[in-house]
Amino acid sequence: VKVIAGDCREQTGVLTSVDGEDGVVEMDARHLNEDSIQLLPLRCLGKFTDNEHHHDYKYK
């Protein structure tokens, strides 16, 4: 996922679980200067895909 709002905006990570209206996100290694696990509102998260053949990044 990619964080699209809030203090962690523009950072990426893996959505590991959902707790009500919040998502538990394990942040990517390049963001480890902050807590590696974040509890973020689902409305602040976007689905992030990487097309390996074209190196285009797309948001859904």
* Residue written as token pair 């390049």: 30
Residue 54 in domain? no
Residue 10 in domain? yes
Integer Cα distance of 40 and 11 in angstroms: 12
Confirm whether pTM is higher than 0.85. Answer: no
pLDDT at 31: 60
Tell me the sheet residues that pair with 22.
Answer: 19, 41
CATH of the domain at 32: 2.30.30
Neighbours of 25 (CB within 10 A): 25
Q: How many domains does the chain have?
A: 1
pLDDT at 54: 43
Residue 39 in domain? yes
Q: Note the pLDDT tens digit of each residue in 11-58.
A: 999 999 999 999 999 998 776 666 689 999 999 999 977 654 444 455
User: What domain range is 11 assigned to?
Assistant: 2-46
Comparing CA positions, the residue from 29, 24, 31, 26 lying closest to residue 10 is 31
Integer Cα distance of 11 and 57 in angstroms: 14
Residue 12 in domain? yes
pLDDT at 49: 76
Residue 55 in domain? no
Residue 11 in domain? yes
